[in-house]
A = this chain, B = another copy of it.
Amino acid sequence: MAKASAVLKRVLVGRPFRSDSLHETLLPKKLALPIFASDAMSSVGYATQEIMLVLAVGGVAFYSLSWYAAAAVVLVMVVVVASYRQNVRAYPSGGGDYEVATVNIGPKAGLTVASALAVDYVLTVAVSISSGADQLTSAFNGLRPYKLEIVIVLIVLIALINLRGVRESGRAFAVPVYGFVIGILGMGVWGLVRYLKGDEMQAPTHDYTVESHVAAPTGILLVFLLLRAFASGCTALTGTEAIANGVPAFKKPKSQNAAATLALMGGLAIAMFTTVTILANVTDVRVVNPAEGVLLRPDGSVVDGQDTVVAQVAQAVFGKTAPFYFVAFMTMIILVLAANTAFNGFPVLGSILAQDRYLPRQLHTRGDRLAFSNGIIVLAGAALVLVVAFNADVTRLIQLYIIGVFVSFTVSQFGMIRHWNRHLKTTRDAAERARMKRSRAINTVGFVLTGTVLIIVILTKFTHGAWIAALAMGALFVMMKGIRRHYDNVAKELRVDPDAEPRTLPSRAVGIVLVSTLHKPTMRTLAFARAIRPDALRGLTVNVDDEDTRKLQEKWERFGIQMPLEVIESPYRDVTKPVVDYIKRIRRESPRDLVMVFIPEYVVGHWWERLLHNRSAIRLKSRLLYLPNVVTVSVPWQLQSAQNLSADEPEWSRPGDLRMGVDSRGRPLTDAQSSS
């Protein structure tokens, strides 16, 4: 079946890409930024909008409150970036939040972070692609009815590309990411110029009004609304931790470069977020959450399907000219790249968790393509379920999103405080201590602030859908703990006590060659069995047809095969049971003997040939596994159709390799070949 699925994959996604090893080098800052920052920066595409959507319940007047929420978000961004610069310096190995939490707090904290991150990756895919489709349908309104279909196709496409195993490339990321930055900041500059010129810039919705289904909140409810808006705006922070997981991919000095890139990313993200927020207010953009109200045109008609804030701002600043389409398109592309980021980050996380035996081990083994492919399929499948269930509605998906991010932020910052405390105990050097104390202060502020945000998120979002994310995190936590427990139990069960262990060898080795007919595979098996020279050796055949058996016995004689041929009866055409019974009998008669069962096996070249051969052998082998002191010896015979296949596995660019700083063969990247 694995082969059949490989064929299907071949058809769908083509041959595995072999990456051009010339470009496989460690990343300079200018290429690392686009790779690691696309996720964090892409949230500029929806963060301002989500703040405004929450506030819209209070009517048009409430939009002005977005200043407060946005300012608070910027503050959190500054603090989180500053905090993660400490993480990057202290943990250059790339374990990220999981490592920080595990080392400094304990395995449960680490596992909590890991569960949160895993859920987060799924939501990154769902939210980013849904928002990307919003950008597209804002530029081309005719596509709006097909939004869900567009989202599904994009997710499937990204999954296929990653199954194919294309390697991330800093160069490929650079154009759209820098294009996005230029687009948004250019929009800000041009907007400033027009503002100073006294041009009136108006969003297409500037004269629309909001009719809210709920009463405008006052007092404590107003505070709560503002907190909700702030919590929604905090989506701008998702993806900030990406660099902390990718330090090994940086050129030396790794930590320093990573910290610098983090600062640059933070600066750009804040600048872009602020730009969009200011422009949205200046140009009087109106948006409303369809669940809470409607947008009315000046003539009183209801707007059905709203454009994104970014698209509206771009239209206000540029009109429907080329720059408008450039901004909308770049925003869409960067959101798609952010989703792709999840497909690269997920395997890295899986590999780290598998190393600690929280996930099946093969996820840590290079080259086990099947395991990684399954991971990609799981990620895409979960994202598809989410977008279908939530109709690709960014606003509703956002409710699930930020809880995971802030769980991992908070736990990680707490871990960093402990990290510095531990190091302060042993460090004597005053300058060093001062530096550590400063770092600890930064991380403490980070912890307090992200913890506060987490509480706000839980308070304002839990019933709106965050409970689903929390539930998924809990389920993952329990599953991974179960896997670890299983591995631990098995390890305990298998531990050898060198003194208690009986060291006696089986007294004799009895060889049994399974024979159905005397063709070349059987002849080879007989020859091999004789070469191994067990203490006793015999052929064994199951009589399912008297005539065939008689012929076999004749040939056995005629070919002069120097071992006895035993015939066991099975008038009912079953092969497995008579053989198993026969071997059980041998085991009873001489329990100290080791029984070797030689089974000829065909090696075929096509997946469908597998359906036609070896089925009895496979069934028999799976049954013999349950008999103690019985080993099966597979003697392969390569059919002609298998001749063009080799024992070597094809090379494969694993998603996430670049983030771990390894090339497509799994070797650590170096600066040496760097061409830039």
Interface residues of A, Cβ cutoff 8 Å to B? 1, 360-362, 364-368, 371, 483, 486-487, 490-491, 493-496, 498, 501, 503, 505-509, 518-521, 523, 527-528, 530-534, 558-559, 571-577, 580, 584, 594, 596, 601-603, 609, 611-613, 615-616, 619, 621, 623-628, 630-640, 642, 645-649, 662, 665-667
Contact A647 to B621, CB < 8 A, known contacts A495-B520, A633-B596: no
- Report chain B residues within 8 Å CB of A572: 366, 662, 665-667
Q: How far is the CB of A291 from chain B (nearest CB, A)?
A: 33
Complex contact A573–B366 (CB within 8 A): yes
Complex contact B493–A368 (CB within 8 A): no
Once the chains are docked, how many angstroms separate the CA of A633 from the CA of B575? 21
Which residue of B is nearest A363, CB measured? B615
What are 29 residue pairs bridging A and B, where the CB atoms are less than 8 Å apart in the complex?
A: A1-B1, A360-B611, A365-B574, A365-B575, A365-B615, A365-B616, A368-B615, A495-B519, A496-B520, A496-B523, A498-B559, A528-B631, A531-B594, A532-B532, A532-B596, A571-B667, A572-B662, A572-B667, A596-B633, A603-B625, A625-B634, A625-B638, A625-B647, A626-B646, A626-B647, A627-B647, A631-B635, A631-B636, A633-B633
Complex contact B623–A361 (CB within 8 A): no
Which residue of B is nearest A628, CB measured? B638
Contact A576 to B371, CB < 8 A, known contacts A521-B494, A633-B633: no
Q: Of residues A533, A613, A631, A635, which shows the largest number of chain B Cβ atoms within 10 Å of its Cβ?
A: A631
- Report chain B residues within 8 Å CB of A667: 571-572
Once the chains are docked, how many angstroms separate the CA of A529 from the CA of B662? 38
Contact A639 to B490, CB < 8 A, known contacts A559-B498, A596-B633, A647-B626: yes
* A612 interface neighbour in B486, B498, B501, B619, Cβ under 8 Å: B486
* A533 interface neighbour in B509, B521, B616, Cβ under 8 Å: B509
Complex contact A506–B527 (CB within 8 A): yes
- Report chain B residues within 8 Å CB of A367: 574, 576-577
Once the chains are docked, how many angstroms separate the CA of A501 from the CA of B364? 46
Q: How far is the CB of A3 from chain B (nearest CB, A)?
A: 9
- A-B pairs with lowest CB-CB distance, top 8: A572-B666, A494-B519, A362-B615, A626-B647, A625-B636, A506-B531, A366-B574, A505-B531
- Report chain B residues within 8 Å CB of A612: 360-361, 483, 486-487
Contact A649 to B633, CB < 8 A, known contacts A520-B496, A530-B505, A573-B666: no
- Report chain B residues within 8 Å CB of A530: 505
- Report chain B residues within 8 Å CB of A580: 647-648
Contact A574 to B496, CB < 8 A, known contacts A533-B509, A584-B647, A609-B486: no
Once the chains are docked, how many angstroms separate the CA of A523 from the CA of B1? 33
Contact A594 to B632, CB < 8 A, known contacts A603-B626, A615-B368, A640-B493: no
Q: How far is the CB of A125 from chain B (nearest CB, A)?
A: 24
Complex contact A506–B520 (CB within 8 A): no
- Report chain B residues within 8 Å CB of A571: 667
With A505-B530, A531-B594 known, 12 other A-B pairs at CB within 8 A are A1-B1, A361-B612, A361-B616, A368-B619, A501-B523, A505-B527, A506-B527, A509-B533, A572-B666, A603-B625, A623-B647, A633-B634
Q: How far is the CB of A645 from chain B (nearest CB, A)?
A: 6
Secondary structure dominating the interface of A: mixed
Complex contact A360–B603 (CB within 8 A): no
Which residue of B is nearest A518, CB measured? B496
Complex contact B631–A632 (CB within 8 A): no
Once the chains are docked, how many angstroms separate the CA of A666 from the CA of B574? 8
Complex contact B509–A496 (CB within 8 A): no
Once the chains are docked, how many angstroms separate the CA of A616 from the CA of B623? 21
- Report chain B residues within 8 Å CB of A362: 615-616
- Report chain B residues within 8 Å CB of A364: 573
- Report chain B residues within 8 Å CB of A496: 518-520, 523, 559
Once the chains are docked, how many angstroms separate the CA of A266 from the CA of B636? 55
* A558 interface neighbour in B498, B509, B533, B577, Cβ under 8 Å: B498
Once the chains are docked, how many angstroms separate the CA of A601 from the CA of B523? 27
- Report chain B residues within 8 Å CB of A662: 572
- Report chain B residues within 8 Å CB of A627: 636, 647
Which residue of B is nearest A666, CB measured? B572
Once the chains are docked, how many angstroms separate the CA of A527 from the CA of B629? 11
Contact A594 to B626, CB < 8 A, known contacts A483-B612, A509-B533, A649-B576: no
- Report chain B residues within 8 Å CB of A493: 520, 639-640
Q: How far is the CB of A580 from chain B (nearest CB, A)?
A: 5
Which residue of B is nearest A640, CB measured? B493
Which residue of B is nearest A520, CB measured? B494
Once the chains are docked, how many angstroms separate the CA of A494 from the CA of B520? 5
Contact A532 to B519, CB < 8 A, known contacts A361-B615, A493-B640, A626-B638: no
Once the chains are docked, how many angstroms separate the CA of A636 from the CA of B631? 7
- Report chain B residues within 8 Å CB of A640: 493
- Report chain B residues within 8 Å CB of A624: 636, 647
Which residue of B is nearest A602, CB measured? B490
Complex contact A509–B490 (CB within 8 A): no
Once the chains are docked, how many angstroms separate the CA of A621 from the CA of B558? 35
Q: Of residues A498, A602, A647, which shows the largest number of chain B Cβ atoms within 10 Å of its Cβ?
A: A647
- Report chain B residues within 8 Å CB of A665: 572
Q: How far is the CB of A658 from chain B (nearest CB, A)?
A: 15
- Report chain B residues within 8 Å CB of A602: 490
* A615 interface neighbour in B1, B371, B558, B594, Cβ under 8 Å: B371
Once the chains are docked, how many angstroms separate the CA of A575 from the CA of B366? 8
Which residue of B is nearest A367, CB measured? B574
- Report chain B residues within 8 Å CB of A527: 503, 505-506
Once the chains are docked, how many angstroms separate the CA of A501 from the CA of B520? 9
Complex contact B648–A634 (CB within 8 A): no
Complex contact A649–B623 (CB within 8 A): yes
- Report chain B residues within 8 Å CB of A609: 486
Q: Of residues A1, A490, A574, which shows the largest number of chain B Cβ atoms within 10 Å of its Cβ?
A: A490
Once the chains are docked, how many angstroms separate the CA of A501 from the CA of B526? 13
Q: How far is the CB of A506 from chain B (nearest CB, A)?
A: 4
Which residue of B is nearest A357, CB measured? B612
